[in-house]
Structures are given as structure tokens and as C-alpha cells.
Amino acid sequence: MPDPIHQFEIKRIVPLDLFGLDATFTNSALFMLLAVVLIAGFLIFSMQGRSLVPTRLQSLAEMLYEFVANMVRDTMGGHSHDDGHGHSHEHGYMKFFPLVFTIFIFILTLNMLGMIPGFFTSTSHLAVTAGLALLVFVTVLIVGFAKNGLGFLNLFVPSGVPIYVLPLVVAIEIISFLSRPISHSVRLFANMLAGHITLKVFAGFIIMLLGAGGAYGVLSILPLSMATALTALEFLVAFLQAYVFAMLTCMYLNDALHPGH
């Protein structure tokens, strides 16, 4: 039976040593670079000849933009307001839109690339998802203290809590806050890892039953139908995990902007 873990193996492409640090260019880095090139190419090409009657690619790009913009608006509170001169202004939270949009489309592209047989799934490695989660975590800390100063610490002191349980509640809130990057990264990594292992296992069953021949070959239709259904489910999970990661990013940034809420 094919090894279901083999697909996650990191392979060295260009060995590189930077100041004593191993900065080798790997297959994981290659697919992340490919994702960046595909995203940039798609967005530049689709928006090149912007027109009032959009092309299919322009419609897709605008749909992605609106999808993430609505997520940011709904999660981080408020909507655009009119300044009295017919100009609509977004609230300050929309300055985080580029970060959320980049994270969403980057994870979505990596997840979808991983669905192509023979391709590598970078998001099935904790190092990649943890890197993205830490980027969000550090951004939240910087934004929180820059905007609210020490008032950011109100995030750990919920209002209306009786004084005798306050130390316990504060301790729980701090542990919960510090564990955010762990849950943020593990959720994406575990979902992608488990999904691809399951698909590979069912694909292995098909090969084994076909190889056995006779009546066993007929039975191979069972794992084949399961693998087909799981592939469809995996495409849905690939999208949902990118959405959940971006949504949590919005919620954490909202905490940084409004720590007392």
C-alpha cells in the first residue's frame, strides 16, 4: 500500500546557508512562491482592462475582493459612512483589508494547489501555518498597544466580573490569548494533513483491490466512490479553512482595536 505520509516529505531543491542558518529552498517554498506568482498574475491580468462590463476574470477578482471586504466590515464593526459631499469613507479598520485579503487568497491558493495530484500542500506543514499565525499574533500586539497603549490590557479584564474571581478570570484570559496562535495554526495544518492522508489511504485501497484481481477488483468501486466524495469534501474544506483563518484574523484584529468590548 502506498505510504500516505510520503506526500508531506520536505525535499531540498537548492541548499542554502545564510549566516549559519539553514535557508534551503525546498518544495514547500517552491509551492508558496508559485502561489504568490499565480495570485499576482491573476490579479494583474484580470484587472488590466478594467471596464464597466467586467470580463469573467475581472468578475472573479471583484467577487473575491467584495467577499473579503464584507468579512472585514461584518467582523470588525461598522460600515462605510457618507461625509456629506457624496463621498463614502470606510472606517479605519479597512486599512487591515490588504492583510486579511492577502492571508485569505494565499491560504486558499496553497490549499487548492495541494488538491492537484502530485503537487505539494504547503499548508499541511505546521511551520507554514504557525508562521502565518504568528504574523497575525504579532500584528495584533503591535496594533493593540499602538492604538490603546496600556488600555490594550483591558482585553484581559472583562467588565462586570466580581472582584473575588477576577484574578482567576484574568489568568484564563491571558492563557486563552497566548494560545491563540497555537489553535490558529493547528486548525489549518491538522485539517489539511488529515484530509490528504484519508484521500491517500482510500486511493491505496483502490490500487490494492485492483491488483488482487477477480471479485476484489469489483469491490474497488467502494473506495473509489468514497475517494470521489472525499475529494469534493476536501475542496470545500480547502475553501472553509482559508475562510476560517481569515475570519479569526479579523476577530483578533478587532480585539486589538476595541480591547474593552
Task: List the beta bridge partners of residue 26.
Answer: 12
257 is written with which cell numbers? Answer: 482595536
Tell me, yes or no, whether 140 lies in a domain.
Answer: yes
Give the list of residues 6+ apart from residue 33 with CB closer than 8 angstroms, or none: none
Q: How many CB atoms lie within 10 A of CB 189?
A: 21
Res 260: pLDDT:
66
Q: Is residue 117 part of a domain?
A: yes
pLDDT score for 91 = 62
Q: What is the pLDDT of residues 115-165, one digit of tens each?
A: 888 888 889 889 999 999 999 999 999 998 988 888 888 888 877 778 888
By the 10 Å C-beta count (0-12 exposed, 13-18 middle, 19+ buried), 139 is classed as middle
* Rounded-to-integer distance, Cα 194 and Cα 80, Å: 41
- Select from 38, 58, 36, 40 the least CA-distant residue to 48: 58
* Residue 223: pLDDT band with limits 50, 70, 90: confident
pTM: predicted TM-score of the whole model, two decimal places: 0.84
Has residue 248 been placed in a domain? yes
User: In terms of DSSP bridges, do strands 17-18 and 25-26 run parallel, antiparallel, or are they unpaired?
Assistant: unpaired
Question: What average pLDDT score do residues 227-251 get?
Answer: 91
In a domain, 1, yes or no: no
Domain annotation covers residue 34: yes
Structure confidence at residue 92 (pLDDT): 72
Query: Residue 257: pLDDT above 60?
Result: yes
CB atoms closer than 10 angstroms to residue 28? 22
Is 45 a domain residue?
yes
Per the structure, how many domains does the chain have?
1
> CA–CA separation, 170 vs 176, rounded Å?
10
Asked whether residue 17 carries a pLDDT value surpassing 60, the answer given is yes
* pLDDT score of 71 more than 80: yes
- What residue numbers bound the domain in which 37 lies? 6-80+88-257
Give the span between the Cα atoms of 201 and 148, in whole angstroms.
51
Q: Is residue 118 part of a domain?
A: yes
Distance CA 157, CA 147 (A): 18
pLDDT tens-digit readout, 73-130: 888 865 444 444 444 445 677 888 999 999 999 999 999 998 888 888 889 889 999 9
Measured over the CA atoms of residue 15, residue 16, residue 20 and residue 21, the dihedral's sign is negative
User: Which cell numbers hold the place of 60?
Assistant: 472573479
pLDDT tens digits for range 151-208: 888 888 877 778 888 889 889 989 999 999 999 999 999 998 888 888 888 777 777 7
Round the average pLDDT of the chain to a whole number and report it. 83
Quick check: is 224 in a domain?
yes
Higher pLDDT, 8 or 179: 179
**Strand pairing report for 17-18 and 12-14:** unpaired
Query: Where is pLDDT greater, at 226 or 191?
Result: 191
